[in-house]
Amino acid sequence: VNLLLKALRGLESKASEYRLRKRRRRSLALLAQCKLFDRGWYLQTYPDVRDSNVDPIAHYLESGWREGRDPGPDFSTAAYLKGNSDVAALGINPLLHYIEHGRFEGRGAPHVGAPFRASFSPDKRFGPAAPCASFTAPPLRPVRWARAGRIRAKEELLASIEDVSVAHFGNDRDKLSFENALEQLAWVSGQNPTAPEMLQISGGIGLELRDAWNSGTGILRTRWLPAERPIVIRSIQHHGRGAALVGEGCIADRLDVLDIRPLSPLYPLLFVFTTADGQFLGFRQLTFPALCRGGLYYPELIALARADNPTAAVDLARMDGQLSSRLFSIRTTAAPTVAEVTVTLEAADGSHPLFQAEYRQWLANIMCVSVKAAVEGTGPIQKYLAAAVKLDASTPRRGAATLRLANDMVPSISALVMSSEGCATDDLAGSLIVASSDRNIAIWIRIADGTPAAEFGGYSSALPALLLNGRAGGLPTEALLLAIRMPARRPLDDAELLFPRLPRVEETALDRPSITWLLRPDRWSEPELMHCLEALAEQTSSASATIFIGEPGEVTACVAEQLFGTVRVAPTTREATKLIETSLAGYIGSNIILHDRRTASLLVEALDDDTITVTAPVVSIKKGAKRSLALPDGGTAFAHLLPHAVVPIAEPSRDFWIARAEMVRELYERPTRMMGRHLCSMHVSVSRLSGTKTEPDSKFPARSKQCSSITEALIG
């Protein structure tokens, strides 16, 4: 038995040795195929290895990494281990880990000299993901290319940025082309007063920009359609201190990306294309990098591209080119529509882009537009906000209109570059996009017919608007995308849905209009109708009468009489309208409760000569262990898109509205759509008793399940 055990142990030992040798061979092969291991660089950097005649790959595999040596200029052993403490704890070769696991797990390959970035694990450590398959990656085509500064040529043929060579030219035409592109970049960035004769977005030979996204920590990652040969791309930005090189890389494969670290996420970028050894091929300007994914203006790119062609892929370069042409036009020859931007400061906290130096610099230098507060503040916070938002462009614009925005919006690029070619004669409410917090989902609220947003009680509308500066003409009549509303930094609380953000209105401060309430007992259960009457009786408005359309129950009639004094019964709605003796009437369909004492008084404030009915969004309280609010139909818009606004809606609410008495009669005399408008005030809400809803409110269409990115035409 002992002999057998000994033999088994021997076999086991040999098998183990075999496995180790196999693993070593595989590791050597992986390192040899990996472009991060630079054999020449290794030998040059570590002369002791060179002098010892040891194979550099074997040296790095066995001992080099333990000594903190780097396999090449593009991979820092120390930074990788510092940034990935779980790898360091395992005691394995960091480059091998990166090749086999790290790159698939999203771990970066820190270049030599990079500051390390610790992986985040405040109280929990995650092990590396188990690979579902193990295989040797196919060898990538090795590309040798000259980094900026290593490009060699005669001085007169070199293009330099900040004393660093970025390209060399084969002829004077190329050189002139590059210099013109650089001057154009300076001009469009507001650093050079001399405008080019014509806008040239691209020139020479270049690659096609397929995609670009903000990948976090200030990096803009770009993907390009590769050419047959490797193309080196260098990115230049003109920002304050002159042109600066902000990124470079070689695109040889579909998987290659170019990372850029812009000095500003908003300022234009110039991409210069060269051969691997630095010979100039061409250039392309990206005027609005904020249109890239994750950028401030990405929602606008999506909206514009989908509006153009809903089924086509979003073409960043094309949209950027179109907007660039318009910018060139309004900065050279054409008059812009927007003269200046005014900002309402209601509920502002000064944290949105309009208050941030980086964004304001872009507005002033590139868009050349002034900004001011709509109303000067009085308290210290309001004074601070008014001063913080005020921005003077160096050259005032010649536009015809003021663009009015809420403080959590930014003006759309389309609005800022719009030229004055239309013929509108009235103030105009525009469409807006509401962006999600990561800016990758956006809801587009399109105001199709340009109906003005109603002003209400001194509070600003949540819709952006173009206000004519006392001049006729100058505004396009088509629907306009005027602004992007930045995300609410939190969803609305249940309390805010029940009582929207509104200064507390004392009863004495409100008018106490007399309203006749119209109710249909046949659509209520008797207890719920009595509840409705109880709530109505607490309204700050004084109800002079209640008219039941149809016979109420005996108890209900008794309660109504006790609460309101006068109770009348009409057999039909038409007859009921004839019984209204007050100047105002309210209709309450089934199962609507006015839970806020101010509801009727506040809605009456929004009634004007052009308005037929005014209503409020409906919230439903779900029953259950944990009470919660649901927002059917219009509630979505109310809660998430248009808080604190009064907006026009397509038709009267089915279940609740207030109107002037003569309008009510008209409404039933002429059941077709009348001339005039219906409004929904988001300043107040009403409740629907749960479990009784039979059909959706008609005033807003539901959000599309298929497409959460854009829901069009909330308002028909």
Q: Which of 348, 405, 418, 684 binds other proteins (CB under 8 A)?
A: 348
Q: Does 284 bind other proteins (CB under 8 A)?
A: no
Span near other proteins by CB under 8 A; candidates 59-67, 270-278, 350-358, 631-639: 350-358
Q: Does 421 bind other proteins (CB under 8 A)?
A: no
Which residues between 672 and 701 bind other proteins (CB under 8 A)?
687, 689-690
CB 178, min distance to other proteins, A: 24
Three-state DSSP class for 258? strand
Span near other proteins by CB under 8 A; candidates 410-418, 469-477, 591-599, 669-677: 591-599
Span near other proteins by CB under 8 A; candidates 30-38, 394-402, 415-423, 595-603: 595-603
Q: Does 435 bind other proteins (CB under 8 A)?
A: no
Q: Does 184 bind other proteins (CB under 8 A)?
A: no
The nearer residue to other proteins, 217 or 333, going by C-beta atoms, is 217
Q: Does 120 bind other proteins (CB under 8 A)?
A: yes
Which residues between 514 and 543 bind other proteins (CB under 8 A)?
527-528, 530-535, 538
Q: Does 103 bind other proteins (CB under 8 A)?
A: no
Q: Does 358 bind other proteins (CB under 8 A)?
A: yes
Q: Does 552 bind other proteins (CB under 8 A)?
A: no
Three-state DSSP class for 363? helix
- In the chain, the largest separation of any two C-alpha atoms, in whole Å, equals 115
Span near other proteins by CB under 8 A; candidates 176-184, 194-202, 281-289, 486-494: 486-494
**Tokens 């040891």 belong to residue:** 54
* Residues 668/401, Cβ–Cβ less than 8 Å: no
Q: Which of 2, 3, 5, 123 binds other proteins (CB under 8 A)?
A: 123
CB 429, min distance to other proteins, A: 24
The nearer residue to other proteins, 84 or 687, going by C-beta atoms, is 687
Span near other proteins by CB under 8 A; candidates 201-209, 300-308, 446-454, 497-505: 497-505
- Is the four-CA dihedral 151, 155, 161, 164 of positive or negative sign? positive
Residues with Cβ < 8 Å from 336, sequence gap 6 or more?
330, 397, 398, 399, 416, 417, 418, 419, 420
CA 229-235-236 angle, 5° bins? 145
HSE-CB for 583 with a 13 A CA cutoff: 7
* Residues 548/568, Cβ–Cβ less than 8 Å: yes
Q: Does 371 bind other proteins (CB under 8 A)?
A: no
Phi, psi at 468, each rounded to 5°: -65, 135
* Residues 467/401, Cβ–Cβ less than 8 Å: yes
Q: Does 562 bind other proteins (CB under 8 A)?
A: yes
The nearer residue to other proteins, 582 or 690, going by C-beta atoms, is 690
Q: Does 559 bind other proteins (CB under 8 A)?
A: yes
Q: Does 67 bind other proteins (CB under 8 A)?
A: no
Q: Does 363 bind other proteins (CB under 8 A)?
A: no
Q: Does 95 bind other proteins (CB under 8 A)?
A: no
Measured between its terminal Cα atoms, the distance across the chain in Å is: 91
Phi, psi at 223, each rounded to 5°: -120, 140
Q: Which of 356, 477, 628, 704 binds other proteins (CB under 8 A)?
A: 356
Q: Which of 144, 490, 626, 705 binds other proteins (CB under 8 A)?
A: 490
* Tokens linked to 234: 């260098």
Question: Cβ-count burial of 218 within 10 angstroms (0-12 exposed, 13-18 middle, 19+ buried)?
Answer: exposed
Helix (H), strand (E) at residue 257: strand 257-260
Name beta bridge partners: 402.
340, 467
Which residues between 233 and 272 bind other proteins (CB under 8 A)?
239-240, 263-265
From residue 627, how far is each of 367, 454, 667 by CA, in Å? 49, 34, 38
Q: Does 388 bind other proteins (CB under 8 A)?
A: yes
The nearer residue to other proteins, 203 or 553, going by C-beta atoms, is 553
From residue 544, how far is each of 143, 536, 567, 593, 601 by CA, in Å? 86, 11, 9, 18, 14
**Phi-psi region at 653: left, alpha or beta (left = phi > 0; alpha = psi -120 to 50):** beta
Which residues between 437 and 476 bind other proteins (CB under 8 A)?
437-438
Q: Which of 99, 385, 435, 585 binds other proteins (CB under 8 A)?
A: 385
| Whole-number Å distance between alpha carbons of 451 and 429 | 6
The nearer residue to other proteins, 47 or 491, going by C-beta atoms, is 491
Q: Does 309 bind other proteins (CB under 8 A)?
A: no
| Whole-number Å distance between alpha carbons of 534 and 597 | 11
Q: Which of 225, 558, 702, 707 binds other proteins (CB under 8 A)?
A: 558
Q: Which of 127, 503, 624, 671 binds other proteins (CB under 8 A)?
A: 503
Axis-axis angle for helices 316-332, 172-188 (nearest 10): 70
Q: Does 384 bind other proteins (CB under 8 A)?
A: yes
Q: Which of 60, 280, 359, 564 binds other proteins (CB under 8 A)?
A: 359
**Tokens 């040059």 belong to residue:** 44
Q: Does 179 bind other proteins (CB under 8 A)?
A: no
* Tokens linked to 265: 């996420």
The nearer residue to other proteins, 147 or 665, going by C-beta atoms, is 147
CB 400, min distance to other proteins, A: 32
CB 664, min distance to other proteins, A: 24
Helix (H), strand (E) at residue 470: none
Q: Does 376 bind other proteins (CB under 8 A)?
A: no
* Tokens linked to 278: 């630095």
| Whole-number Å distance between alpha carbons of 165 and 149 | 5
CB 521, min distance to other proteins, A: 15
Residues with Cβ < 8 Å from 616, sequence gap 6 or more?
599, 603, 656, 680, 681, 682, 683, 684, 685, 686
**What number of chain residues touch other proteins (CB under 8 A)?**
71
* Residues 436/490, Cβ–Cβ less than 8 Å: no
CB 46, min distance to other proteins, A: 25
